[in-house]
Amino acid sequence: MRKADEAKAQCLLQVERQLQASEAQARQAELRKTHEVDAARIRAEYEAELKQLQDKCEREQAESAQAVKEKEEKIRRFQVAQDQLHHLAHSPSQPVTSPVPVETPKITPQVRDASDPLTAQVAQLVQIVQQLQSNQTHIASTEMVHRTDKSQKIAQDGRTPVKSRSTTPTKTDGRKKRAVKSGGKGDDCYD
């Protein structure tokens, strides 16, 4: 009976060991499954966050490119306005050949942000250039009207206009030419 009890005990011990091993395997499988689910969830969250960051980066790059483009356009308009202002400031008044005023295209700057000093300067320069162009056109047309009125008055009086300040050459000494202009005292000029 002892042998039977020992065999029974060994059989029970073997069954118990198998049961413990299968429970350990089940626990490991459950842990593996939980780990895989967690890893899949973390991977999905990571990919979603990565996609959001990529979208945000693309938007910021597009906005940055647009901002650079706008700045370059502002700088270009600023330089054009400066060139126009410089040209107007350094060009002599030229009379208009027809009494019809010339249309000058008006540049209307699009001011997005009034706090942007470059935009404000561009807008101010454009206004100054437009005012100068308007003034120059007005002066030229006024000069033309004045000349027309003067010509008509001379024609009515029956007189011919007298040319003033004719230049007559005088002596030359080899170094400088001296020309005397008629029309008043001290009008000598050296060329």
**pLDDT-based confidence at 111, cuts 50/70/90?**
very low
Residue 42: inside a domain, yes or no?
yes
Mean pLDDT of 91-117: 52
Q: Say what the pLDDT of residue 186 is.
A: 52
Residue 163: inside a domain, yes or no?
no
For 94, the token pair is 């030229």
- Closest among 129, 70, 123 to 104, alpha carbons compared: 129
Residue 123: inside a domain, yes or no?
yes
pLDDT beyond 50 at 95: no
Residue 43: inside a domain, yes or no?
yes
Residue 165: inside a domain, yes or no?
no
CA 122 to chain centroid: 10
Domain of 61 in residue numbering reads as 2-157
Whole-model pTM?
0.35
d(CA 99, CA 95): 10
Mean pLDDT of 51-76: 95
Number of compact structural domains in the chain:
1
